[in-house]
Amino acid sequence: MQLFNIIFERLPMVWFLLGLLFNSLALYLGIESSLFFVYLIVGWGCCAYGLAIYFLQKLERPKQSQATKLSPNFISAGATTMMPSPASQREPQAAARDRSDDQEPVAT
């Protein structure tokens, strides 16, 4: 349902742009046209409706405190990813074994 959220979040912009198109059509036709005032009124109505939806969505959206906001540089490793602990936090024997495995045997 994420698609519907994306569409409904941008709906005010669509109404506002539709209003701008109606206004530009009215200005293109000129005041001599019989539909000039109709297009102008519909255009201003669409613009006002788009702005009203935008501000109502802003009021409806819950405010998020600064303490709960994530940093823009935050990258989640995911809930199912298990990261290995550093050697300093493991048992000393396991850390020593890992170090001895890394060394190549010396030929005599």
CA distance 17 to 53: 13
| CA distances, 101 to each of 25, 67, 95, 96 (Å) | 77, 44, 10, 9
pLDDT at residue 77, rounded to an integer: 60
Q: 8-43: per-residue pLDDT in tens?
A: 888 999 999 999 999 999 999 999 999 999 999 999
Q: 41-74: per-residue pLDDT in tens?
A: 999 999 999 999 999 988 887 776 666 666 666 6
pLDDT at residue 21, rounded to an integer: 96
pLDDT at residue 10, rounded to an integer: 87
